[in-house]
Every structure is written in C-alpha cells, then in structure tokens.
C-alpha cells in the first residue's frame, strides 16, 4: 500500500487511472518500509596501512551502493561524527586489507539490537576482482538478511552506436565495467541474455541478412543460431535456458517460433498473415506474451502453449515489447494511451484489468527488462536527449541513468542470477 501511495505522490502530472483496485505491491516484495541497516565503517586490516584503509573504503562504497540499489534496506551510515542508527534491524561491519598478494575481507552482519552475528564470513580474492568481491559480499548479506538472492552480480546487455555502428555491449548492473562484445561493423540488434548469464543471443546484418547469433561469454566464441532469409530475432529464453523464442519471417510474414537450443528443432507457434513479434516466456514457460497487429495497432497477446490459443491482453492505442516479471504477476511493456503520445513503460496484470503507468512522457521510453529478482526494471529513454539505459524501481519510482556511455544505447536485456 505504501509503495503505491509513494508512487502516486511521486507522479505529479499523472492523471490517476480510473480504476479501483490499487493495493498491490509491484515487484513481489512487501510494501512495508524496508528495515534499517546500520552500515559501520569498514576497518583496515592493518590500521597503519593507508592502502588497506583505501581498499576498505572502496569495498564499502560498492557494498553500500549495492544494498541501496537492492531497495531491501534503509541504509544508514555509522561512523565518527555520525549518530548511531536508530531502530536498526541489521548492523553490517567488515575488516578489509591485503594479506600476502590477496585481497582479504572479514564481514559480519549482526542483529541491530543484541549484536548477535547472523552471518560472518572471510573472503580471499585476487585484488583485480575487487568489484566482484564487493558484489559477492552484498549478495551474501541480502541472502542472510532476507533469504532472497541478490542481483549485485548481474549484468545488462545492450546495443550502443558510439563506434558509428550498432554493436552489442555489456555492463555490470550498476553501470560499471562497460565493454563492447562485438566488432561486427554492421547493425547488431536486440541482445538477449541467457538465464545463467553465460550467453547472449543477438541479431546482426553482418552477412547481408538479419541472422541470429549466440555469443558464448566464457569462451568468446560465436555460433549461428538461425540464418533463414528474412528476420531472425531473439525473443526470450525459457527460464531453464533450453529453448529460445524467436521472430522469423522466412520469406513470409513475421511469426513466432520456438527453437530447441540442443536439438535445433524449430516449432512454429503462430500462423498469421500480419506481424507477430517480441515473444517472451512466462516464468513457468507455459505461456508466451507477444505483440501482434492482428487487431490493427500492435497489442500484447498471451499464447497458451498447451492449448495453442491466444488471447488479447491490452487495449491501449499501442502496446509493444512485453517482458514477463520473474514473479509471474505482471507484464511490463512499452506503450502509449494516445496516438500522438510518446512511448511510456506500463505494467499490466494477467487479466488485463489492471494497468500501471510507470513513466510519464519524459522522452520516449522503450524496451523494459526485469531484474531477475523482479524488483527493478531497466529500459531505454530519450529523456536526457540521446537514448540511454535507465533503471527504476518496479513501481516506477527512482528512475536513474545507468552508466554514462557515449552514443545512443538501446534494447537492454538483464541477465539472470549466476548460479
């Protein structure tokens, strides 16, 4: 309830949609305010070492950012000159430094009141993996405090144009470590992360046709998934990573297909003379959300794979690029209520009766993708001029740009949580 209230208060120009049901927390979390986590200064292992003090500060800064981005805690800093956090449910402290040629950290999570440790762990890591180490600490803290998997180790793939060509890039979920993955010097489009984050499917025109490729991020090797003349575009992977939904035209109209990644068997899912596109699996892989113009303007449809029947879900002027929430309750999409509006990000429930508008005309907002914990959405927006990648809470609050990458960035795809 308070989430929604906060969302309504934060949205000045938003005309409240005429609907009655409101008290649903988007993102699968509770709607109570997050518990206070008191974050103590991280101590240097060698108190006389400036280098250790710097490492401790670097690790703490990353952990602090992760815990705040997780939206699971009300993080309150403690330390010299700062008051002790009031009503702390958790207190996190650590000791960090160099031990021989390794980076060392001792992390302790206590109950806020009694000082009883609920989690304590020692970490040893090659110093070049400082950021991954900090993210690991953050995810361990989230797990110990909430029982849920954290997303601090996840990444976002996207397309960027800074070289003059469209190439596939990847960055950490917090915008660090932006790097280019392809050097195709062509048009690369619509990257999709596999659920375990080890592969990215994407479309490239480098061989004269929009063919679909699979890039193995571990080996750097690339293979061709589909190169029938016409469109070969990745939709979503199945949650177990064995199937890939695709849009293919095969010298006819674009329709939906399902590719078995092991056997390469291809099943056609729709037979329509207009355009079906952008398929994405439900978390239980029993349904597919997709876009079709079969009723005129593009709308979101749900295809039941067992019954092989489709039903229309949305009824705005334009509804496009659906993304099914990992919790299963919501489908995020880019759409607009009126023909001359810019595109905004919306949520719709599976009955189609509840629609939430999450962005409100700040530029054109497209291509939503869920964080694997269902608490955040990444999307592209032109709100600051050129198209960039943004992340917001799943209730639409706190939108912020991720990384400052030159050129135009589009079509983000969030990885799963690495097992």
Partner 1 sequence: MWYHGAMKRPISRFLILASVAGLAACAGTKASMKSGSQSGAAANGGAAEAAPQVPPTQVTEASLRVGDFVPREDLKTVHFDYDSAKLSPETLKTLKANAEVLKADPSLVVEVTGNCDARGTVAYNLALGQRRAKEVRDYYILLGVDGTRVATISYGKEKPLCEESTPACWARNRRAETLARVPPPAAAAPAATSR
Residues 356-395 that bind partner 1 (CB under 8 A): 364, 366-367
Query: Looking at 57, 98, 131, 294, which residue binds partner 1 (CB under 8 A)?
Result: 294
First to last CA, the chain: 33
Least distance CB 121 / partner 1 (angstroms): 39
Query: Looking at 43, 178, 275, 403, which residue binds partner 1 (CB under 8 A)?
Result: 275
How far, in Å, are 134, 158, 313, 414 from residue 196 at the CA level?
20, 17, 29, 11
If one asks whether residue 297 binds partner 1 (CB under 8 A), the answer comes out as yes
Residues near partner 1 (CB under 8 A), total = 66
Which one, 103 or 244, has the nearer CB to partner 1?
Answer: 244
Which residues on adjacent β-strands are paired with residue 103?
98, 125
Which has the closest alpha carbon to 322: 342, 346, 351, 338? 346
If one asks whether residue 267 binds partner 1 (CB under 8 A), the answer comes out as yes
Query: Looking at 55, 92, 343, 348, which residue binds partner 1 (CB under 8 A)?
Result: 343
Q: Print burial letters for 333-349: b (CB count within 10 Å at least 16), e (below 16).
A: bbbbeeeeebbbbbbbb
Query: Looking at 29, 153, 197, 210, which residue binds partner 1 (CB under 8 A)?
Result: 210
If one asks whether residue 252 binds partner 1 (CB under 8 A), the answer comes out as yes
Query: Looking at 48, 128, 221, 264, which residue binds partner 1 (CB under 8 A)?
Result: 264
Which one, 124 or 252, has the nearer CB to partner 1?
Answer: 252
* Whether 347 contacts 26, CB under 8 Å: yes
* Whether 212 contacts 232, CB under 8 Å: yes
* Whether 241 contacts 261, CB under 8 Å: yes
Q: Give the separation between CA 81 and CA 69, rounded to whole angstroms.
A: 25
Provide the 3-class DSSP secondary structure of residue 257.
Answer: strand
Listed in sequence order, the residues at least 6 apart from 72 whose beta carbon sits closer than 8 Å to its beta carbon are 29, 34, 142, 145, 146, 148, 375
If one asks whether residue 353 binds partner 1 (CB under 8 A), the answer comes out as no
If one asks whether residue 237 binds partner 1 (CB under 8 A), the answer comes out as no
Joined tokens for residue 119: 């989690």
If one asks whether residue 249 binds partner 1 (CB under 8 A), the answer comes out as yes
Beta strands 117-125 and 167-172 are unpaired
Query: Looking at 113, 120, 183, 260, which residue binds partner 1 (CB under 8 A)?
Result: 260
Query: Looking at 27, 29, 298, 399, which residue binds partner 1 (CB under 8 A)?
Result: 298
If one asks whether residue 194 binds partner 1 (CB under 8 A), the answer comes out as no
Query: Looking at 166, 356, 375, 388, which residue binds partner 1 (CB under 8 A)?
Result: 166
If one asks whether residue 266 binds partner 1 (CB under 8 A), the answer comes out as yes
If one asks whether residue 223 binds partner 1 (CB under 8 A), the answer comes out as no
Strand order in the sheet with 211-216: 188-193, 199-204, 211-216, 222-226
Q: Give the separation between CA 98 and CA 96, rounded to whole angstroms.
A: 7
Beta strands 188-193 and 232-237 are unpaired
Provide the 3-class DSSP secondary structure of residue 144.
Answer: helix
* Whether 290 contacts 301, CB under 8 Å: yes
Quick one: which segment of 29-37, 47-55, 131-139, 182-190 binds partner 1 (CB under 8 A)?
182-190
Which one, 170 or 323, has the nearer CB to partner 1?
Answer: 323
Residue 376 has phi, psi (to 5 degrees) of: -130, 160
Quick one: which segment of 56-64, 74-82, 174-182, 276-284 binds partner 1 (CB under 8 A)?
276-284
If one asks whether residue 277 binds partner 1 (CB under 8 A), the answer comes out as yes
Joined tokens for residue 59: 């690790």
Query: Looking at 86, 221, 308, 338, which residue binds partner 1 (CB under 8 A)?
Result: 308
If one asks whether residue 270 binds partner 1 (CB under 8 A), the answer comes out as yes
If one asks whether residue 413 binds partner 1 (CB under 8 A), the answer comes out as no
| Residues at the contact surface with partner 1, assessed by CB under 8 A | 166, 187, 189-190, 205, 207-210, 228-231, 233, 247, 249-254, 260, 263-268, 270-278, 286, 291-295, 297-299, 301, 303, 305-312, 318, 320-321, 334, 343, 364, 366-367, 410-411
């Amino acid at each position: 309830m308070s989430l929604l209230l906060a969302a309504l208060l934060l949205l000045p120009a938003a005309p409240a949609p005429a609907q009655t049901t409101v008290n649903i927390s988007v993102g699968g979390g509770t709607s109570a305010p997050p518990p206070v986590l008191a974050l103590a200064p991280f101590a240097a292992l060698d108190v006389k070492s400036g280098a250790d003090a710097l490492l401790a500060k670097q690790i703490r800064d990353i952990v602090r950012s992760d815990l705040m981005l997780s939206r699971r805690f009300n993080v309150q800093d403690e330390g010299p000159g700062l008051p002790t956090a009031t009503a702390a449910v958790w207190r996190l402290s650590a000791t960090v430094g160099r031990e021989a040629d390794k980076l060392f950290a001792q992390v302790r999570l206590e109950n806020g009141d009694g000082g009883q440790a609920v989690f304590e762990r020692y970490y040893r890591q090659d110093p070049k993996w400082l950021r991954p180490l900090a993210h690991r600490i953050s995810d361990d803290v989230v797990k110990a405090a909430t029982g849920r998997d954290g997303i601090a180790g996840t990444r976002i793939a996207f397309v960027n144009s800074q070289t003059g060509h469209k190439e596939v890039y990847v960055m950490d979920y917090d915008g660090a470590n932006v790097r280019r993955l392809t050097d195709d010097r062509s048009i690369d489009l619509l990257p999709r992360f596999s659920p375990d984050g080890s592969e990215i499917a994407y479309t490239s025109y480098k061989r004269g046709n929009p063919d679909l490729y699979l890039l193995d991020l571990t080996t750097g090797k690339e293979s061709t998934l589909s190169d029938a003349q016409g469109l070969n575009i990745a939709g979503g992977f199945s949650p177990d990573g064995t199937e890939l939904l695709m849009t293919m035209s095969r010298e006819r109209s674009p329709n939906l297909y399902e590719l078995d990644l092991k056997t390469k068997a291809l099943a056609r899912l729709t037979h329509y003379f207009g355009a079906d596109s952008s398929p994405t699996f439900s978390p239980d892989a029993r349904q597919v959300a997709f876009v079709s113009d079969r009723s005129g303007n593009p709308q979101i449809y749900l295809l039941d794979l067992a019954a092989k029947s489709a039903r229309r879900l949305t009824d705005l002027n334009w509804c496009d690029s659906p993304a099914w929430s990992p919790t299963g309750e919501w489908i995020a999409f880019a759409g607009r209520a009126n023909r001359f509006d810019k595109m905004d990000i919306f949520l719709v429930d599976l009955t189609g009766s509840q629609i939430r508008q999450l962005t409100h005309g700040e530029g054109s907002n497209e291509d939503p993708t869920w964080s694997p914990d269902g608490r955040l959405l990444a999307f592209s927006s032109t709100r600051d001029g050129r198209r960039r990648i943004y992340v917001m809470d799943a209730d639409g609050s706190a939108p912020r740009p991720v990384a400052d990458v030159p050129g135009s960035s589009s079509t983000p795809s969030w990885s799963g949580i690495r097992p």
